[in-house]
Each structure stands twice: as structure tokens, then as C-alpha cells.
Amino acid sequence: MTKRIIPCLDVQNGRVVKNVRFFEDHRDAGDPLTLAQAYEQQQADELVFYDITATHEGRKLMLDVAARVAEAVMMPLTVGGGVESVADFRQLLLAGADKISVNSSAVRRPQLIREASDHFGAQCVVLSIDAKRRPDGSGWNVFVGGGRIDTGLDLLAWAQEGERLGAGELCLNVMDADGTRAGFDLQATRAVSDAVNLPVIASGGAGRVQDFYDVLTEGHADAALAASVFHFGELTVNGVKAELKQRGLNVRPAWSDV
Amino acid sequence: MTPQDGPLPVALLDYGGGNVHSCHKALVRAGIDTRVVSSPHELGGTRGFVVPGQGHFRQVMEAFDASGFRAPILAAAASGEPVFGICVGMQMLLDGSEEAPGVQGLGLIPGQVLRFTPAPGAQKVPHMGWNSVDKVGDSALLRNLFCPAYAYFVHSYYVPITVDVEAGAITEYGVPFWSVISQGNVHATQFHPEKSGEVGMAVLRRFREQVLGAVQPA
């Protein structure tokens, strides 16, 4: 079984934001399709699109993004952001997404996980969790609202509840590490990965290849997700994978039909 | 239309239990003339079947039977028409599954589908991600395909290698299991070719060239 490397793209009103910069030529780096194809060429194992649109119109554009990307690439596609109901799941899955991630909406209404899992199967329900270390160091709490609101929920308890309710995969973003590029939070990732029997995607903090290596070994993660290090071209997905492979990790190699 | 008039499209079965849309796109992209068929009445003028499947074994089998596909598909398979099952669509070809004891599969391949045993801290269930596929014998779906090839899997149940088939491929996830099977005119992949990049496309092209070839010349 290989370890997965997953680029994540933020979408607002149908366009990728945060100024993805890895193109040296003049291709449209805000076009989700262009980027999806570029990452497919880099041997990305999956893609995540996260919709940060707040308006109804923007939501409809996200459906169009999912449809266009799913049409063009042959790899798993996860969409998240603002998914509140089974109806939202259905729309995105019909548009072509393979998995849907839920975060705040699942904290507000945990039954959403159960309903979606019963309707569409656990394999398409990704529970995404934002967590921060408690000040007393005794563990981590679950946060919502982009890290502003402490729910008081314990990370490990919520992860296990998510599994019980029928999530098929967990995506853990440790906010202490997010954006720091100082590495994934190995301790939290490992604690979650050992607490559940679901695949765990580590997110937040990737800066160097070493960080990927550490979280996929010591952190017990099954996959690692990153945004800016790939978008800015500091690292390429295939570059990271080549180095991980050299260091003995099982990753999906380049392949051609000879 | 009779076979002499030219190639016939393959029927992609839309019985309410599969990811028909992405399968359809991938088949078309592989150059396969495909017709999405949601009732047995629409099978006229097609030859060969693709059986997608996603979800619980009981639900997909019940949906399959409710749409009336069992009898015509068994008859067509017995007459030598090509069959291609994908993911749970592969598991449906067997006699039954641990996921839904007592629910009757199609029985085109004798045997039972089993559940992966989770190993805390090491082996997660579902088996989700890219894993290697190694050929056993000469499956038409893998002919001259470079192995190990890596394909995308999402499943909690598997076809054990104690199931006797002519050829296929084996993947290892705690236990070895059949990731591809070929038995006469019946073929299947446990992985999702439509999500498996170039490898998936290569398998679908072989389905076109090596399996449908006689009825759908390229």
C-alpha cells in the first residue's frame, strides 16, 4: 500500500485563489482545471478542492468546477467547504466528486456523517478536523470557524465519534502547525491515527520533504496534504515522491504503458 | 441491428448502485462505444456489459435485481458476451459476500467475498489508496501491461485468492486478494480504472482491444 501525496486548492467563486505560482509559462493559474491537470502530471495521488465561497452563486460555480475537473482527470477528487446536508453531498457527487469532506457542519450536526454515510457509503465521507493543542498540554481541542471557535470537543474523542458515525477517512489539520512550514504535528497525527481504524490524511505545516517523511512514518499518517509548498513550486509532488521512495517509503511511481 | 451490420455498443448498466457517470466518461475516453442502459428493454442492439458498483453488497444486489437485470445478464454471459465488473461490480459476480449473508450474487464466479480484518495502528479499513497490481496468468485486461502497476482502490471487502479463476492479478493488503479476474468472457477489477490514471486507461483500452475487439473493432 502506498502513501498518498495530496495537493489542496482553495476555490472562491469558481477560481483557485492564493495565487498559485508554479507555472513558468503563462497558463492560467487560477483555473482549477489547468491546475488539476498539472498536478495529475506530477503524479499527485488525489486532489482536494476546498470551496471558500460564501455566496449561493459561488456554490453553484463549485459544482461546475467539480464537473469540469472530474471530466478531465482520472484520479480521486475530494470537495469540501460549506457542505451542510445530504442534498449538498448528492449535488457534488453527481457533479463528479468522489469524496466530500465535512468539518464545521459535522460538529454542529454529527448526524450529517451518519446520513451521508448511509446514503452514499463511508468511502465518500471525509471528516476534516481542525485542532489546536490545549494550553495545559493535555491534548487537543477541535476548532471551527477557521480556528476561531473552540468547540471544547476533544480531538481523539471526536475522531472516534466520526468513525462510529460512518466516516470513511479523516483529514487532520493541526492549526498550531498550519502555515508555519515547520512540519506537520507528528504527535497529534499519530495520536489520531492510532485512535481510529480509518485512513488519516495529515494536513498543515508542510515545508520540506523531511516533513512529509516524518508524518508518514513517525506520525503514522496514510497520506499527507499540502497547499502552498506545491502551489509556489518550492516542491513538486513528483519530487517529494521521488525522495520519499529513495528513503524507502512506498509511494506510487511514475508509470507508462510500454 | 445484427452483428453483421457492424460493431455494437457495450451496455453500461445503470441500475442505481454504481458511479455510472465517471465510468461512462472513462469508457468513452478509452474509445469504447458505450450505451448507458437503465432497464433490460434497452439492451437490444448492445453486446457486452459493464457492471459498476458502489456501496453495500445488499443494496447494490437488490437494486440490480429490482431493475430486472439478473436474468438477461446471466443469459447473455452464458452465451459468451463479455462482462466487465468494477469494484462492487466485481464482487457481485461471485456467489455472495460476507457483507450481506444470504444475499445471492450473480454466481458467474464461484466463491464468497470476505471482509478485511483491521489491524489497529497498522492496517486501516477501508483499503483506500493506490496499491500495486501483479499479474497472474494471462488476463486479457492486462496483456502486455507493465507490472507492478499501481491502481486506486476503495473497498472493505475482497475476493480471496482461494477463488479459482483462469487469470488475473493479485494485490496485497494484509492478505493477498484478486484485484483483477478473468474467467472466460467474464472480467473484473476490484480497483477503479476510472480513477486510476494511465493504468486505468491502459486496462480499459485492453478491454476494448482484447475483449470487445471481436465485436467492436477499433
Unique residue bearing C-alpha cell 488476463: B139
Reported as a single tens digit per residue, the pLDDT across B48-96 is 999 998 888 999 999 999 999 999 999 999 999 999 999 999 999 999 9
ipTM of this predicted structure: 0.91
Given an 8 Å threshold on Cβ–Cβ distance, is B146 in contact with A255?
yes
Q: Work out whether the CA dihedral A82, A40, B89, B179 comes out positive or negative.
A: negative
Catalytic residue among A51, A88, A130, A211: A130
How far is the alpha carbon of A120 from chain B, nearest alpha carbon, in Å? 7
Given an 8 Å threshold on Cβ–Cβ distance, is A121 in contact with B150?
no
Q: Is residue B63 part of a domain?
A: yes
Given an 8 Å threshold on Cβ–Cβ distance, is B129 in contact with A98?
no
| B23 a catalytic residue | no
Phi-psi region of B174 (alpha: psi -120 to 50; beta: other; left: phi over 0): left
Amino acid occupying residue B52: P
- Average pLDDT for A37-47: 95
What residue of B is the nearest CA neighbor of A256? B198
Q: Determine the pLDDT at residue B2.
A: 47
**With contact defined as beta carbons under 8 Å apart, do A16 and A46 qualify?**
no
Mean pLDDT of chain B: 92
Query: Which CATH number does the domain housing residue B161 bear?
Result: 3.40.50.880
Give every CB contact of residue B119 below 8 A, 6+ residues apart in sequence: B174
What is the topology classification, in CATH, of domain A4-246?
TIM Barrel (3.20.20)
Cell numbers for B128, please give them: 483506500
How far is the alpha carbon of A257 from chain B, nearest alpha carbon, in Å? 6
Q: Which chain A residues are within 8 Å of B145, Cβ to Cβ?
A: 257
Mean pLDDT of chain A: 91
Q: Which chain B residues are within 8 Å of A94, Cβ to Cβ?
A: 21
Cell numbers for A178, please give them: 498550519
Given an 8 Å threshold on Cβ–Cβ distance, is B150 in contact with A197?
no
Give every CB contact of residue B122 below 8 A, 6+ residues apart in sequence: none
Given an 8 Å threshold on Cβ–Cβ distance, is B128 in contact with A255?
no
How far is the alpha carbon of B130 from chain A, nearest alpha carbon, in Å? 6
Q: Which chain A residues are within 8 Å of B131, Cβ to Cβ?
A: 1-2
The residue among B196 and A25 whose pLDDT is bigger is B196
Q: Which chain B residues are within 8 Å of A253, Cβ to Cβ?
A: 150
High-pLDDT (> 90) share of chain B, %: 83
Q: Determine the pLDDT at residue B1.
A: 43
Given an 8 Å threshold on Cβ–Cβ distance, is A222 in contact with B118?
no
Q: Is residue B216 part of a domain?
A: no
Q: How confident is the model at residue A20 (pLDDT cuts 50, 70, 90)?
A: low
Q: Which chain B residues are within 8 Å of A197, Cβ to Cβ?
A: 118, 120, 124-125
CA atoms within 13 A on the CB side of A198: 28
How far is the alpha carbon of A194 from chain B, nearest alpha carbon, in Å? 5
Integer Cα distance of A94 and B20 in angstroms: 10
Integer Cα distance of A169 and A162 in angstroms: 9
- Average pLDDT for A38-62: 90
Reported as a single tens digit per residue, the pLDDT across B12-58 is 999 987 778 889 999 999 999 999 999 999 999 999 999 998 888 99
Q: Determine the pLDDT at residue A50.
A: 92
State yes or no: pLDDT of A179 exceeds 80: no
State yes or no: pLDDT of B171 exceeds 80: yes
Instruction: Tell me which long-range contacts A79-82 makes (C-beta under 8 A, separation of at least 24).
Output: A79/A48, A79/A49, A79/A50, A79/A51, A80/A48, A80/A49, A80/A50, A80/A51, A80/A126, A80/A128, A81/A11, A81/A50, A81/A51, A81/A52, A81/A53, A82/A51, A82/A53, A82/A54
What residue of B is the nearest CA neighbor of A4? B129
| A10 a catalytic residue | yes
State yes or no: pLDDT of B218 exceeds 60: no
Phi, psi dihedral angles at B180 (to 5 degrees): -140, 140
Q: Determine the pLDDT at residue A28.
A: 67
CB-nearest to B129 from A94, A199, A258 is A199
Given an 8 Å threshold on Cβ–Cβ distance, is A70 in contact with B25?
yes
Q: Which chain A residues are within 8 Å of B121, Cβ to Cβ?
A: 193-194, 220
Phi-psi region of A87 (alpha: psi -120 to 50; beta: other; left: phi over 0): alpha
Q: Is residue B217 part of a domain?
A: no
Integer Cα distance of A197 and A195 in angstroms: 7
Cell numbers for A55, please give them: 455566496
Q: Work out whether the CA dihedral A253, A238, A128, B196 comes out positive or negative.
A: negative
Unique residue bearing C-alpha cell 497472474: B136
- Point out the least confidently predicted range of A30-39, A110-119, B134-143: A30-39
Q: Is residue B17 part of a domain?
A: yes
State yes or no: pLDDT of A72 exceeds 60: yes
Closest by CA position to B85, among listed B218, B216, B211, B213: B211
Instruction: Tell me which long-range contacts B112-115 makes (C-beta under 8 A, separation of at least 24).
Output: B112/B160, B113/B57, B113/B157, B113/B158, B113/B159, B114/B157, B114/B158, B114/B159, B114/B160, B115/B156, B115/B157, B115/B158
Integer Cα distance of B214 and B218 in angstroms: 9
Three-state SS at A58: helix
Given an 8 Å threshold on Cβ–Cβ distance, is B130 in contact with A4?
yes
Reported as a single tens digit per residue, the pLDDT across A107-125 is 999 999 999 998 888 889 9
- Rg, C-alpha atoms of chain A: 17
Three-state SS sequence of A150-162: EEEEEHHHHHHHH
Cell numbers for B168, please give them: 488475473
What's the pTM?
Answer: 0.92
Counting the structural domains of chain B, the total is 1
Give chain B's largest Cα–Cα span. Answer: 58
Instruction: Tell me which long-range contacts B101-106 makes (C-beta under 8 A, separation of at least 24).
Output: B103/B57, B103/B58, B103/B61, B103/B62, B104/B61, B105/B57, B105/B61, B106/B70, B106/B73, B106/B74, B106/B77
Unique residue bearing C-alpha cell 498550531: A176
Catalytic residue among B23, B87, B127, B187: B87
Range of the domain at B39: 3-211
